[in-house]
Amino acid sequence: MAFVVTENCIKCKFTDCVDVCPVDCFHEGPNFLVIDPDECIDCTLCEPECPAGAIFAEDELPEGQEQFVALNAELAQAWPVITEVKPAAADAEDWNGKPGKLALLEK
């Protein structure tokens, strides 16, 4: 089991989580982060660091977020690893908590 980045990360892309990851399993896309499930060691360190509350254990995903398990696995293979904190999107706080952002995901 791994941790999963879910929809609320889209258009926010806070990177506080990558700073605490001991195995560098986060990957960065244009407006979203994902966790490589093959690298994640379930340490739980990233979950409380996410200001958007977008990270969940795979077996504790909120209803409607199940598709993000496969999406994290797929995009982790295509996107580069991110290991350092970067500034969030300028309008990240405006997007935090808005529903229906999956259509806005840039691959």
For residue 29, give the CATH number of its domain.
Answer: 3.30.70.20
**Rounded CA separation 45/92 (Å):** 22
Residue 52 has pLDDT above 90, yes or no: yes
Cβ atoms 80, 27 nearer than 8 A: yes
**Rounded CA separation 4/61 (Å):** 8
Question: Is 66 within a domain?
Answer: yes
What is the band of 1 on the pLDDT scale with cuts at 50, 70, 90? confident
What is the band of 99 on the pLDDT scale with cuts at 50, 70, 90? very high
Residue 89 has pLDDT above 90, yes or no: no
**Rounded CA separation 33/56 (Å):** 13
What per-residue confidence (pLDDT) applies to 100? 95
What per-residue confidence (pLDDT) applies to 107? 94
Name the 3-class secondary structure at 35. strand
Share of the chain above pLDDT 70, in %: 100
Residue 5 has pLDDT above 90, yes or no: yes
Radius of gyration of the chain (CA): 12
Question: Is 39 within a domain?
Answer: yes
Question: Is 94 within a domain?
Answer: no
Question: Is 22 within a domain?
Answer: yes
Which residues, in sequence order, are CB contacts of 78 under 8 Å at separation 6+?
27, 107
